[in-house]
Amino acid sequence: MTARIPNLKVIAFDADDTLFVNEPYFQQTEEKFCALMEDYLSHQGLSQELFKTEIANLPLYGYGIKGYILSMIEAAISISNSTIPIEVVSKIMQYGKELLDKPIELLEGVEETLQALHGKYKLVVATKGDLKDQHSKLHRSGLGAYFHHIEVMSDKKEMDYEKLLKRLDIQPNEFLMIGNSLKSDVLPVLEIGGSAVHIPFHTTWEHEKINHKVVHENFKTLPNVTAVLSLFT
């Protein structure tokens, strides 16, 4: 990727694990779920069953905490052969509510980077998940004023980005996406002709991992969000 992107008009940021912490909270909740269900299966077995249930439910519930809560309950019922006590179901629901109420922890350099770019480009959030939850997190983060538009997508495939660009009335070569997921934030954007920056996060949900290297003229990996500013100097 060249230091300056010709014709750039819009810079989009993923939210979870790009602007603020997310996946570690899910991992903490999974640990509690496995501890709660340890009489039925090994930790590894419980994690595998929960993941399988999550993936099977994505077409129904989409991404987000509420779908995750339902998947935990469904996995618990299945793992226990429908013998799980109601108290355990209640505990799982409590874990889910605690997850929804987690504090917002901004990643280092996020606000300074947004301040530097604000007013020079249209800044948008392009994230996936539960609409109410994502809007709540952005409101609580205090970052909302930096963004021209917030798009909570049901998924992040080529078609979803094409819809976003149409809504923003821009061409793919005028769009830069920044995020922590190669699968969701990089590959589909490159596929439609946009530019993308990958900022790795120290932990990634298994569903978001890919097993090949990305090489593209419109792609760059940077160590942190502050380093994005080096593209414009």
pLDDT digits (tens, 9 = 90+) for 62-118: 889 999 999 999 999 999 999 999 999 999 999 999 999 999 999 999 999 999 999
**16 within domain boundaries:** yes
Mean pLDDT score, 215-232: 91
- Give the DSSP H or E segment for 101: none
| 148 closest CA partner among 4, 5, 6, 13 | 13
Q: How many domains does the chain contain in total?
A: 2
Which of 50, 74, 100 is the C-terminal boundary of a domain?
100
- d(C-alpha 32, C-alpha 117), whole Å: 40
Mean pLDDT score, 25-44: 96
117-128 pLDDT per residue, tens? 999 999 999 999
pTM of the model: 0.90
Mean pLDDT score, 13-26: 94
Residues 80 and 16 in one domain: no
pLDDT value at residue 204: 73
Residues 77 and 108 in one domain: no
Q: Which domain holds residue 203?
A: 10-20+104-232
pLDDT value at residue 203: 77
164-223 pLDDT per residue, tens? 999 999 999 999 999 999 999 999 999 999 999 999 987 776 767 777 787 788 999 999
Residues 113 and 180 in one domain: yes
Residues 67 and 178 in one domain: no
Instruction: For residue 37, give the CATH number of its domain.
Output: 1.10.150.240
Residues 63 and 112 in one domain: no
Residue 47 has pLDDT above 80, yes or no: yes
Residues 133 and 226 in one domain: yes
Between the alpha carbon of residue 113 and those of residues 18, 72, 82, 139, 149, the distances in Å are 12, 37, 50, 18, 17
Residue 22 corresponds to which amino acid? N
Mean pLDDT score, 2-9: 74
Residues 91 and 112 in one domain: no
Residues 90 and 123 in one domain: no
Residues above pLDDT 90, as percent of the chain: 84
pLDDT value at residue 2: 47
